[in-house]
């Protein structure tokens, strides 16, 4: 579970250099692509379903 949590948190940081490409790929703004909503959502689901 520690590894999965670390991977979720790392997702917020390793994609910073390519946010422009991610945003254009998904047709969203850079601020939406760089938000931590997805990380928070996946981390909360991981904790809920791990119990």
Q: What is the pLDDT of residues 34-46, one digit of tens each?
A: 666 666 776 777 7
Mean pLDDT of the chain: 75
For 2-11, 13-22, 30-39, which range has the lowest pLDDT when averaged over its residues?
Answer: 30-39
4: pLDDT strictly greater than 80: no
CA distance 2 to 23: 29
CA distance 44 to 27: 26
């Amino acid at each position: 579970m520690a590894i999965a949590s670390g991977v979720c948190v790392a997702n917020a940081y390793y994609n910073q250099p390519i946010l422009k490409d991610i945003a254009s790929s998904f047709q969203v703004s850079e601020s939406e692509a760089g938000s931590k909503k997805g990380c928070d959502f996946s981390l909360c689901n991981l904790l809920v379903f791990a119990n």
